[in-house]
């Protein structure tokens, strides 16, 4: 069987009511060069009735509150982008698939339907705004089983992961006929520090030819790893901490570095609590956490000791962030090292995407559409319903090292 997606309609959804017409400046971190791009994701729901109609109408209502997202990015001064609240709207596609979700294995990787058919990809004749200047785009694809997939493209310059999840939760609130979103949005970008530190230029990215693997871990597996940490320290550690430590150690071992090398682990942490931001803040509010060690240090340490390295780096983050905010440093803290010895981790499990309910229940799976050959990366997801635990989307080793990495991750020792 050839799996096909047919577009039923496509066009612009504008706010359901008049909205302010003004220009809003983005925060320093929003303006960071690497954030000027669309993050693609799919959100899979088992069953619904006329989901495209429901979501389209709810989207128009939600945009009244999130009116900047109905605008687009402008850059009258190079390097200083803003949002023009023009009410141009959000590009929206309704589509049907000729198969059930089960037929395409609930879109577990590898995708049996190309991602380009699941997310909106308008041409210049369809949508006058260039993709990197678009705030958000949506597509609802209904399957023969009654389930549907929401394909989402959000501009990282306008919202971070928590902010994007806040918005689609608000669309869900409107779909469930609430009078307003449960969490009302605030712009407040002026509350994020605006130091005079210049962002580093985008570096030349290597070609690493990374393998792509999916690893599922049960709650039992995670609890056993956490209990080891508790037994040795008497303290509790998070699922993120223990999985990061495990993958960093297993990856370092799989790389089989012949000489002692410097290995790096990086991820972004929220600073909403440090800035005491309103919970309705949906812009970028993140700061990098970087951990560097010798390969021998990671290989010869216990898992508990590797967890402690990560926790110590997280504890230093607040001090490093406020130094950045007070301009006590003159180098760009967001600058990353892109080589095979460095790995970056994103945690999607607690962003809030899994709580978006359009009146049909919560999604069985929310997943970014990430697969690149230039950044060794791992994404942590909540396991697909009804499973409990975690799923790792790993694109962090080459084929040569993949088997050893997977073997290590599956080993409880």
- Which of the listed residues 134, 157, 191 is the one where a domain comes to its end? 191
**304 shares its domain with 342:** yes
* 199 domain residue, yes or no: no
Residue 33: count other Cβ atoms within 10 Å of its Cβ.
Answer: 14
Torsion of CA 23, 27, 30, 32, to 10 degrees: 120
**302 shares its domain with 400:** yes
Token pair for 91? 């590009």
* 94 domain residue, yes or no: yes
Report the C-alpha gap between 212 and 122 in whole angstroms.
28
- Pair 52, 98: CB distance under 8 Å: no
* 261 domain residue, yes or no: yes
Q: What is the CATH number of the domain that holds 371?
A: 3.30.559.10
pTM equals 0.94
Q: For residue range 8-55, what is the model confidence (pLDDT) as tens digits?
A: 999 999 999 999 999 999 999 999 998 988 999 999 999 999 999 999
How many structural domains are present in the chain? Answer: 2
**30 shares its domain with 153:** yes
Token pair for 6? 């047919």
**19 shares its domain with 95:** yes
- Which of the listed residues 158, 191, 224 is the one where a domain comes to its end? 191
pLDDT at 165: 98
Write phi, then psi, for 41 (nearest 5 degrees). -155, 160
**252 shares its domain with 378:** yes
* 205 domain residue, yes or no: no
User: Cβ neighbours of residue 326 under 8 Å, at least 6 residues apart?
Assistant: 195
**175 shares its domain with 324:** no
**142 shares its domain with 263:** no
Report the C-alpha gap between 406 and 410 in whole angstroms.
6
DSSP-assigned beta bridge partners for residue 300: none
Token pair for 192? 């994020």
**117 shares its domain with 221:** no
* 134 domain residue, yes or no: yes
Regions of the chain short of the pLDDT cut 50: none
pLDDT at 413: 67
- Which of the listed residues 191, 224, 251 is the one where a domain comes to its end? 191
**182 shares its domain with 241:** no
* 367 domain residue, yes or no: yes
pLDDT at 60: 98
* 203 domain residue, yes or no: no
**33 shares its domain with 137:** yes
Report the C-alpha gap between 47 and 146 in whole angstroms.
5
Report the C-alpha gap between 301 and 326 in whole angstroms.
36
H/E run at residue 142? strand 136-142
* Token pair 């407040």: residue: 188
Report the C-alpha gap between 324 and 331 in whole angstroms.
9
pLDDT at 373: 74
**171 shares its domain with 277:** no
pLDDT at 234: 94
- Residues annotated as part of the active site: 156, 357
Which residues form the domain of 113? 5-191
Report the C-alpha gap between 143 and 145 in whole angstroms.
5
**252 shares its domain with 345:** yes
H/E run at residue 12? strand 5-13
* 146 domain residue, yes or no: yes
Report the C-alpha gap between 97 and 6 in whole angstroms.
6
């Amino acid at each position: 069987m050839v799996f096909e997606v047919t577009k039923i309609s496509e066009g612009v959804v504008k706010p359901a009511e008049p909205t302010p017409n003004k220009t809003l400046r983005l925060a320093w971190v929003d303006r960071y060069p690497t954030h000027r791009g669309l993050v693609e994701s799919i959100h899979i729901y088992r069953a619904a009735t006329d989901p495209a109609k429901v979501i389209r109408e709810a989207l128009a209502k939600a945009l009244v509150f999130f009116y900047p997202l109905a605008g687009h990015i402008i850059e009258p001064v190079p390097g200083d982008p803003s949002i023009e609240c023009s009410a141009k709207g959000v590009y929206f596609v309704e589509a049907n698939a000729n198969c059930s979700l089960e037929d395409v294995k609930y879109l577990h990787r590898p995708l049996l339907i190309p991602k380009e058919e699941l997310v909106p990809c308008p041409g210049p004749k369809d949508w006058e705004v260039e993709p990197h200047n678009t705030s958000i785009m949506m597509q609802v694809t209904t399957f023969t089983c009654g389930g549907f997939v929401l394909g989402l493209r959000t501009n990282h310059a306008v919202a971070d992961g928590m902010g994007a999840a806040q918005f689609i939760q608000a669309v869900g609130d409107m779909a469930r006929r609430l009078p307003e979103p449960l969490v009302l949005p605030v712009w407040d970008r002026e509350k994020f520090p605006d130091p005079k530190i210049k962002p580093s230029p985008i570096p030349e990215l290597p070609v690493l030819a990374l393998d792509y693997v999916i690893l599922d871990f049960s709650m039992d597996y995670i609890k056993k790893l956490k209990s080891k940490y508790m037994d040795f320290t008497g303290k509790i550690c998070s699922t993120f901490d223990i999985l990061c430590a495990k993958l960093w150690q297993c990856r370092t071992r799989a790389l089989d570095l012949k000489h002692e090398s410097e290995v790096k682990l990086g991820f972004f942490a929220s600073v909403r609590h440090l800035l005491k931001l309103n919970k309705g803040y949906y812009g970028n509010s993140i700061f990098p956490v970087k951990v560097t060690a010798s390969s021998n240090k990671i290989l010869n340490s216990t898992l508990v000791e590797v967890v402690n390295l990560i926790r110590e780096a997280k504890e230093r983050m607040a001090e490093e962030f406020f130094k950045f905010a007070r301009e006590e440093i003159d180098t760009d803290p967001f600058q990353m090292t892109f080589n095979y010895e460095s790995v970056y981790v994103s945690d999607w499990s607690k962003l809030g995407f899994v709580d978006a309910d359009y009146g049909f229940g919560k999604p069985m799976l929310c997943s970014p559409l990430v697969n690149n050959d230039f950044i060794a990366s791992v994404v942590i997801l909540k396991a697909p319903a009804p499973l409990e635990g975690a799923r790792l989307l790993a694109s962090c080793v080459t084929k040569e090292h993949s088997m050893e990495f997977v073997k290590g991750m599956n080993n409880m020792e």
